[in-house]
Structure 1
Amino acid sequence: MLFKIHQHRLIITAFISCTFSLLAPHAAYAAGMIPETSVVILDESVGETTINIKNSDASPALLYSSIENLNDDKENLIVLTPPVARVEPGETQAVRFLLNSPTPLKVQRLRRVTFEGILPKDKSAGARIGMNVRQNLPVIINPKGLEKDREPWLHLKWSAQGKNLTVENPSAYVVRLGQSVNILPSNTVANLPKLYVLPGEKITIALPTEVGAGATAVKLYPATVYGFSVESYEAPLSK
Structure 2
Amino acid sequence: MKAKYVFRSVLCATVLGLGAFNALQAHASIVIAATRVIYPAKEREVMVKLSNEGKGPRLTQVWIDNGDERAGPAAQEVPFTIAPPVARIDPGKTQTLRVSYTGEALPQDRESVFWLNVLDIPPQVQDDGVQANLLQVAVRSRIKLFFRPAGLPGTAEEAPARIQWRVVPGGIEARNPSAYHVSFTEIEVVSSARTATFDEGGMVSPGQTTVFPLKGDVQASTATKVRSQAINDYGGVQRNEIPLLRH
How does the TM-score come out when normalised to structure 2?
Answer: 0.73
Q: 1:67 aligns with which of 64, 68, 71?
A: 64
State whether structure 2 residue 107 is matched by structure 1 residue 109.
no
SS in 1 for 2:48: strand
Structure 2: 5+ residue stretches without partners: 9-17, 69-75
Letter of the 2:82 partner, please give it: L
Deviation at 1:110, TM superposition (A): 2.0
State whether structure 2 residue 159 is matched by structure 1 residue 144.
no
SS in 2 for 1:34: strand
Structure 1: 5+ residue stretches without partners: 18-29
Q: 1:37 aligns with which of 30, 34, 38?
A: 34
Given that 2:196 and 2:217 are in contact with CA atoms closer than 8 Å, whether structure 1 keeps it comes out as: no
Letter of the 2:105 partner, please give it: T
State whether structure 2 residue 155 is matched by structure 1 residue 153.
no
Deviation at 1:114, TM superposition (A): 1.6
- What do the CA deviations read for 1:129-185 (whole angstroms, capped 9, x no partner)? 544343222212211123643232111111235666321101101112124331433
SS in 1 for 2:97: strand
Given that 1:8 and 1:121 are in contact with CA atoms closer than 8 Å, whether structure 2 keeps it comes out as: no
- What are the within-5 Å matches in structure 2 for residues 160-179 of structure 1? 160-161=167-168, 165-179=172-186
Letter of the 1:76 partner, please give it: V
User: Structure 1 198/163 Cα, relative in aligned 2: closer, same or farther at 3 Å?
Assistant: closer
Report the equivalent of 1:234. 242
User: Structure 1 157/121 Cα, relative in aligned 2: closer, same or farther at 3 Å?
Assistant: same
SS in 2 for 1:154: helix
Deviation at 1:194, TM superposition (A): 5.0
Letter of the 1:70 partner, please give it: G
Q: 2:121 aligns with which of 118, 123, 139?
A: 118
SS in 1 for 2:210: strand
How does the TM-score come out when normalised to structure 1?
Answer: 0.75
Question: 1:181 & 1:65 partners in 2: Cα distance?
Answer: 36
Q: Which moved more, 1:215-224 or 1:90-99?
A: 215-224
Deviation at 1:43, TM superposition (A): 0.9
Deviation at 1:36, TM superposition (A): 2.2
Report the equivalent of 2:47. 50
- What do the CA deviations read for 1:70-122 (whole angstroms, capped 9, x no partner)? 26xx9723222222122233322221111234225221222221212212212
User: Structure 1 160/55 Cα, relative in aligned 2: closer, same or farther at 3 Å?
Assistant: closer
Report the equivalent of 1:23. none
Q: Aligned pairs, how many? A: 222
Given that 1:161 and 1:211 are in contact with CA atoms closer than 8 Å, whether structure 2 keeps it comes out as: no
Report the equivalent of 1:92. 94
Letter of the 2:4 partner, please give it: I
Q: Which moved more, 1:166-175 or 1:123-132?
A: 123-132
Question: 2:246 & 2:168 partners in 1: Cα distance?
Answer: 9
RMSD: 3.3
Q: 1:204 aligns with which of 208, 211, 215?
A: 211
SS in 1 for 2:161: helix
Deviation at 1:31, TM superposition (A): 5.7
Letter of the 1:214 partner, please give it: T
Given that 2:41 and 2:147 are in contact with CA atoms closer than 8 Å, whether structure 1 keeps it comes out as: yes
- What do the CA deviations read for 1:175-234 (whole angstroms, capped 9, x no partner)? 121243314335341538852111011123566757243333222222222332233423
Question: 1:8 & 1:190 partners in 2: Cα distance?
Answer: 34
State whether structure 2 residue 202 is matched by structure 1 residue 195.
yes
